[in-house]
Amino acid sequence: MKTIKKTFGIAACIGILAASATSVFAQITFTNGTLAQLAAGRTLSIDDKIFWGFSYQASGLSSFDPNQIIINATESGGIDYLTWSGNISLVSGGFATADLLLNYIVTANAGTINIIDQAYTGSAVNGLLAVDETAATGAFGGKVVGYSHLQIGDLSDPPAETVQGDNLIIDPSQSVLYVTKDIGFGVTSANGGFITISQVTQSFHQVPEPSAMLLGSLGGGLLLLLSLRGRQARLTAAIRHFSKIAINGMHNDQHSDLK
């Protein structure tokens, strides 16, 4: 009987350890990966953001390897970033065109996204480059709620530009967006040329959830109320204290007079 209990206890411990290990592995999150890994189903997480549903379609490029394109999700100053790094280029001895289509989905769990901005690092000789991006709702190719365009000489514009360029203004803001980035390359000389991109960066700006703002306001109001109550309680105690002193003084004076 003791042997059965001991065996059962060991089995239970092994089961608990196995469950714990499974739980730990299930909780692993990634902040980076190759484009090939992401297109195969890996997701990236940073702060409240989840990036998933990655896919790509390339045509005519001289240099492009999804196993060598690294995508990083980072945070700086309270803003989340998604960055593609790697060699994406078109080199030709004459006229030529190429295209790269990148898709991904971004989900914000603590608010809604109202701006996505983009910038790139690259150059061109005898060539043209266009980076067009759309943000849609519901599905890729769904209702477009934001659009931006970059080109040679317009790597990243200031937010106050009169014609929208690098900033995708999402109005109304959304918690889930289907983003498509279309990068077009073109050699425009019969003598050849090249266009290359080594990095594309995006940042995500959002509006906090109303509930979070409400909780913050309620919390601040509660702290103020408690502080005022504390002050009132201390003031009341002080008044009572000095009132007792005054009353005792009056009693002492009366006793002196009677003597």
For residue range 135-172, list pLDDT tens digits in order: 999 999 999 998 888 888 776 755 545 555 567 889 88
CB atoms inside a 10 Å sphere around CB 23: 9
Q: pTM of the predicted model, to two decimals?
A: 0.70
Span 191-202, average pLDDT: 95
Residue 219 confidence class, pLDDT cut points 50, 70, 90: very low
Q: Which residues of 50-68 are buried (b: 16+ CB within 10 A; e: fewer)?
A: bbebbebebeebbebebee
Predicted confidence (pLDDT) per residue in 50-87, tens digit: 999 999 999 999 999 999 999 999 999 999 999 999 99
d(CA 129, CA 184): 6
What count of Cα atoms within 13 Å lies in the side-chain half-sphere of residue 188? 9
Is pLDDT at 34 greater than 50 in this prediction?
Answer: yes
Cα-based distances in Å from 168 to 22, 136, 146, 171: 40, 11, 5, 9
